[in-house]
Structure 1
Amino acid sequence: MKNQYQVHCDHIDVALPYARNSGDGALIGSMFGVCANGGANGADDVLVVKGVFTLTKNSAEAWTVGEKVYWDNVAKNVTTTATSNTLIGVAILDAANPSSTGVVRLNGSFS
């Protein structure tokens, strides 16, 4: 098909908005994903926008299965606090308080 831009819609080619490592989350506008390779601010990378990932979370929160989770672009972690943050998906496992990571099913990148 002549007008198809990209075949795999769960992986988006991007320039990183800030320095990231492989497996870190990143927000570009309202598009959230997990960095495949990582790199410096402005580096080319692949953002994985669909799937289930273990991500850094606000360690002072407890999560329950099915709870909405948001990206805090200031702290660069996942939180249950909606205010000033971007909806990215849901928790698929309980996460204790304290704990540094949680398992998230991404909502496909758009809130």
Structure 2
Amino acid sequence: MAKNYIQVGDHLTIPAAADAASGAPVLVGALFGVAEHDAATGEPLTIARKGVFTLPKATGQAWAVGAKVYWDATNGVITTTASGNTLVGVVAEAAIAGAAEGIVLLDGAIR
């Protein structure tokens, strides 16, 4: 291992840009993850950047496995709409249009 290696980066501690609750999606710049614990603005917040999570879903969209999904920061949901949103992963389990939550695979890539 290189002497300047720090960590894998799947779980990253950053200053909370806003109040965050455990399990909430978090986007700071191009860095997206899921809060691992509650944190107030400015406090250390560990986010999970990889894994499969149940996240709030845009209603009115049916999801197919493998479809790309995006974080819609305006509405606070995951969506299949690319325009104006940040790519965060893919659908891991199909969901009906009326579902309020969806199963998403985060791959940890920075986009």
Q: Do the aligned partners of 1:90 and 1:106 also contact (CA within 8 Å) in 2? A: yes
Structure 2 gaps, min length 5: none
Percent identity for Structure 1 against Structure 2: 40
Say if 1:26 and 1:35, in contact at 8 Å, map to a contact too.
yes
For residues 96 and 40 of structure 2, the distance between their equivalents in structure 1, rounded to whole angstroms, comes to: 32
Q: Please report the TM-score for the alignment, with normalisation by the length of structure 1.
A: 0.91
Q: Which moved more, 1:8-17 or 1:65-74?
A: 8-17
Post-superposition offset of 1:20: 1.7
CA distance in 2, matches of 1:17, 1:72: 17
Structure 2 counterpart of 1:71: 71
- In the alignment, what sits opposite 1:4? 5
Q: Equivalences for 1:77-92 in 2 at 5 Å?
A: 77-92=77-92
- The answer for the alignment partner of 1:107 in structure 2 is 107
Number of aligned residue pairs: 110
Indicate conservation of the 8 Å contact 1:25/1:32, yes or no.
yes
Shift of 1:109: 3.9
- Write the distance in 2 (CA, Å) between the matches of 1:43 and 1:61: 35
Does structure 2 retain, via aligned residues, the 8 Å contact 1:22–1:35? yes
Over the residues paired in the alignment, what is the CA RMSD in angstroms?
1.3
Runs of 4+, deviation exceeding 3 Å: none
Alpha-carbon separation, structure 1, partners of 2:44 and 2:80:
30
Structure 1, unmatched stretches of 5+, are none
